Amino acid sequence: MSTAHTVVEVRDLRKRYRLGVIGGATLGDELKVLLARLRGRPNPLVPLDGGMDAQREGEHFWALRGVSFDVQEGEILGIIGKNGAGKSTLLKLLSRITTPTEGTARMKGRVSSLLEVGTGFNPELTGRENIYLNGAVLGMDRSEIDRKLDEIIAFSGIKHHIDTPTKRYSSGMKVRLGFAVAAHLEPEIMIIDEVLAVGDAEFQRKCLGKMKDVAESGRTVLFVSHNMVSVKSLCDRVIWLKDGKVHMDGPTEEVVHTYLGSYTTMRSRVIWDEEAPGVPELKLREVRLDGLPADGVITTSDAFQVHVRFENLGFGEGEVVPAIHLLNGDDVVVMGSSVRDSLEPTTRFMVGTHEVCCTIPGDLLNVGEYRILVQFAHQGKVVLREAGTVAFEVHSTKRQGAWFGQRVGVVRPKLEWAVLG
Amino acid sequence: MNAGSTGARRTEGDWSIVIRPEQPWWRLDLKEFWRYRDLLVLLVRRDIVAQYKQTVLGPLWHVIQPLTTTFTFAFIFGKAAGLSPPDLPPVLFYMSGIVAWNYFAGVINRTSKTFVGNANLMSKVYFPRLVVPASMAVSSLVSYLIQLGTFLIIYGYYFFQGNDGWGPSPWLFALPALVALMALLGLGSGILVSSMTTKYRDLGFLVGFGVQMLMYASPVIMPLDRLSRIPWLLTLFKLNPMTPVIEATRAVFFGYPIDWGGLTYSAGVTVGVMLIGLMTFHRVERSFADIV
């Protein structure tokens, strides 16, 4: 088939959820709501805090606010966006797990959706029995499974344990078996939710290869992911969902790049004029990031600097020691460092304005959000501590060999290795 | 861009899946249900196999429970209270009622947990939701057949020991129709309850208890003629749609006359419950994933 031909048509899809208590938890609550409605009073069960969210409307929340797009046959479409942007809602609607409040979506051909691998596995049944059950749940019929059974078992790589109840499987084995079944579905349209983030490197490569095969055989894939690495290596086109709407739709490179650069969590410069944090003798004036990559997107291999400008108004005696703490998204202090690390012990910051600069090396921080806390000590006592300074996010856009997931650990330095024998 | 081409194909026939807000409940997609028949078979198998793994007695439990109940009832209600009919061994009288009731109660109790018990599966993948309660009605049938077999053995034993004029009626061959009636009545009530329990969990607790109460308002415990002196109680019993089914079950085994009027009433209630059940089930299956 050479000419493009639309196989998925989504038109003005909207989904509204009720906030807070969904319906009455008990019949009594439901009666209260009914009574209030009859008297023309507001629903007594809706929480009263008035959020000013764009997606919020009274007691309802619009998870999707008019999403439209087309997908052509054979296209691999990536769907990205922050948590709460509507990705999972869109997936659930297209998978027919729930229904839209307004709008339509139409699809041509057999559709399989994989929101999870191994859905419906029963721990008491053997691997083989679960292949049949899982296959049937995903829409395969018995003869189809019979035909593909050997291939599925071979792909999963757990041939020796195939007649063991799955409750004795490790979680990795369950995932392998689940993906093996899913990979042998033959739908015209496949909807996938980040299943690639599991399994070991070798298995991921196998899965990715299988997905490429699926795509090359002319099938259409809708792939929802947080992982820009896999989106970049798989998709031709990307849709970026933001606040329940399509924010951007275009070629993968372009959309992913804009997406990564758009983070509002990035705060690369903070300046104080009045009400500067500090004590009468010492004021913090400015904290900023410097030496960032031209596009403003920090990746794990980039080095950059943290500048701290401060004013000593009255500490004449004794030394002032500036330091920074790096906190990650979980507020764990990843590390701390003071000027004592590398400056001459004789360096003094006398009365006046000073600026110090600390370099954070590349290949040190792992993917995630970070913020910097600035601290000053005077004669061994902390005199100033300011947490509301710069914040940034470290991204991964490059593949680490065969590995598509995130590296483990709070930090990810590249260490020296040697072969000794 | 390609508005022209999509415009030309506005006919619904071209699209295999159309997702829209409203779907009338009577558009029950039986073709799709049929496509998923393998899933139904596998769910039945899963129920049966998974139930007995790591049990010592396995399917014997199907026999132990009704036998124990039968002997208890035969002793308390039959011997002590003298409620069972004089011309019939109490064990046969009670077991015939209990086996039938167990099937009906089993179907209601199990299908009423359709949504709550399969939330994980249903919030992850699409398939016609009705496959789940239907598979439960079928897997309960296995238990029923084992119990029926046990009953037939005991029945045969008493029959050839000599009987006081009781014996199978020519209508015995219609027993499957009675089973189908019970299955549909149980299934209809079960899906109705399961749809309502997604919103009101209270109902879940009520089901087991309610079904038990319903049994005491049925001829499982005593023949209807024992009630002729208390007309309001008799009316109450007759309102129970299971009453004619239990009566008919005994009628075909022991050669009593069949109450056709009663059976017609049961069938009517079954159709009504089934329709209301399907209607609410359809409403809930479309929004269920948003609630749990």
ipTM (interface predicted TM): 0.78
Can you give the pLDDT at residue A57?
63
Contact A23 B291 (CB under 8 A): yes
Rounded average pLDDT over A147-152: 92
List chain B residues with CB under 8 Å of A119: 121, 124-125
Q: Tell me whether residue A150 is exposed, middle or buried, using C-beta atoms within 10 angstroms of its C-beta: 0 to 12, 13 to 18, 19 or more.
A: exposed
Per-residue pLDDT reduced to its tens digit, A81-119: 887 888 888 988 998 888 899 999 999 888 888 777 777
Helix (H) or strand (E) holding A228: helix A228-234
Closest residue by Cα to residue B273 from B166, B195, B204: B195
Q: Is the pLDDT of residue B3 over 50?
A: no
What whole-number percentage of chain B has pLDDT above 90? 42
Per-residue pLDDT reduced to its tens digit, B216-244: 999 998 888 888 888 898 999 999 999 99
List chain A residues with CB under 8 Å of B45: 129
Count Cβ atoms below 10 Å from residue B156 Cβ, excluding itself: 10
Q: Tell me whether residue A248 is exposed, middle or buried, using C-beta atoms within 10 angstroms of its C-beta: 0 to 12, 13 to 18, 19 or more.
A: middle
Chain A (146-165) residues lying within 8 Å, Cβ to Cβ, of chain B:
165
Instruction: Categorize the per-residue pLDDT at A329 as very low, low, confident or very high, splitting at 50, 70 and 90.
Output: confident
Using a CB–CB cutoff of 8 Å, tell me whether A105 touches chain B. Answer: yes
The whole-chain average pLDDT of chain B stands at 85
Residue reference for tokens 């690639």: A196
- Which has the minimum average pLDDT: A33-37, A238-242, B115-119? A33-37
Domain ranges of chain A: 6-14+64-261, 20-58, 269-395
Can you give the pLDDT at residue B7?
38
Closest residue by Cα to residue A194 from A85, A63, A88: A88
Chosen for mutation from A32, A106, A130, A191 (greatest number of chain B CBs closer than 10 Å) is A106
Q: Fill in the amino acid letter for B86.
A: P
List chain A residues with CB under 8 Å of B39: 136-137
Handedness of CA B131, B136, B139, B140 (dihedral sign): negative
List chain B residues with CB under 8 Å of A103: 20-21
Q: Is the pLDDT of residue A162 over 60?
A: yes
Rounded average pLDDT over A333-350: 88
- Residue B248 tokens read as 């008919």
What whole-number percentage of chain A has pLDDT above 70? 84
Instruction: Categorize the per-residue pLDDT at A266 as very low, low, confident or very high, splitting at 50, 70 and 90.
Output: confident
- Angle, CA of A180, A183 and A186, to the nearest 5°: 135
- Residue A93 tokens read as 């609607």
Per-residue pLDDT reduced to its tens digit, B103-154: 999 999 999 888 888 888 888 888 888 999 999 999 999 889 999 999 999 9
Using a CB–CB cutoff of 8 Å, tell me whether A1 touches chain B. Answer: no
Does A28 or A183 have the greater pLDDT score?
A: A183
Q: Is the pLDDT of residue A62 over 60?
A: yes
Can you give the pLDDT at residue A263?
59
Instruction: Categorize the per-residue pLDDT at A28 as very low, low, confident or very high, splitting at 50, 70 and 90.
Output: low
Can you give the pLDDT at residue A51?
40
Can you give the pLDDT at residue B219?
92
Does A254 or A330 have the greater pLDDT score?
A: A254
Q: Is the pLDDT of residue A301 over 60?
A: yes
Contact B291 A120 (CB under 8 A): no
Q: Fill in the amino acid letter for A7.
A: V
Does B9 or B180 have the greater pLDDT score?
A: B180
Residue reference for tokens 């290596």: A233
Using a CB–CB cutoff of 8 Å, tell me whether A122 touches chain B. Answer: yes
Instruction: Categorize the per-residue pLDDT at A307 as very low, low, confident or very high, splitting at 50, 70 and 90.
Output: very high
State phi, psi for A131 to the nearest 5 degrees.
-60, -45
Does A394 or B104 have the greater pLDDT score?
A: B104
Can you give the pLDDT at residue B9?
40
Contact B287 A98 (CB under 8 A): yes
DSSP label of A390 = -
List chain B residues with CB under 8 Å of A96: 17, 19, 126
Q: Is the pLDDT of residue A203 over 50?
A: yes
Can you give the pLDDT at residue B8?
38
Q: Is the pLDDT of residue B156 over 80?
A: yes
Contact A139 B36 (CB under 8 A): yes
- Contact residues of B toward A, CB < 8 A: 2, 5-6, 14-21, 23, 35-36, 38-39, 41-43, 45-46, 49-50, 53-54, 121-127, 199-202, 286-291
Using a CB–CB cutoff of 8 Å, tell me whether A70 touches chain B. Answer: yes
Is there a common fold for A6-14+64-261 and A269-395? no
- Residue A194 tokens read as 């980040």
Can you give the pLDDT at residue A45?
55
Contact A136 B2 (CB under 8 A): no
Per-residue pLDDT reduced to its tens digit, A287-299: 999 988 877 778 8
Contact B199 A105 (CB under 8 A): no
Count Cβ atoms below 10 Å from residue A122 Cβ, excluding itself: 20
Handedness of CA B217, B223, B226, B228 (dihedral sign): positive
CA-to-CA distance for B222 and A74, rounded, in angstroms? 68
DSSP label of B76 = I
Confirm if B161 and B119 have CB atoms less than 8 A apart.
no
Contact B121 A120 (CB under 8 A): yes
**Topology adopted by domain A269-395:** Coagulation Factor XIII; Chain A, domain 1 (2.70.50)
Contact A119 B2 (CB under 8 A): no
Distances (CA, A) of A113 to A102, A234, B93, B127, B148: 22, 17, 53, 11, 42
- Residue B110 tokens read as 């199990």
Q: Is the pLDDT of residue A261 over 80?
A: no
3-state secondary structure of B18: strand
- Angle, CA of B56, B58 and B61, to the nearest 5°: 110
Contact B19 A102 (CB under 8 A): no
A417 CA: distance to closest CA in chain B (Å)? 44
- Residue A223 tokens read as 């792939």
CATH class of A6-14+64-261: alpha beta
Q: Fill in the amino acid letter for A170.
A: S
Using a CB–CB cutoff of 8 Å, tell me whether A305 touches chain B. Answer: no
Per-residue pLDDT reduced to its tens digit, B257-283: 889 999 999 999 999 999 999 988 888
Per-residue pLDDT reduced to its tens digit, B21-35: 877 666 667 788 888
Rounded average pLDDT over A188-214: 72
The whole-chain average pLDDT of chain A stands at 82
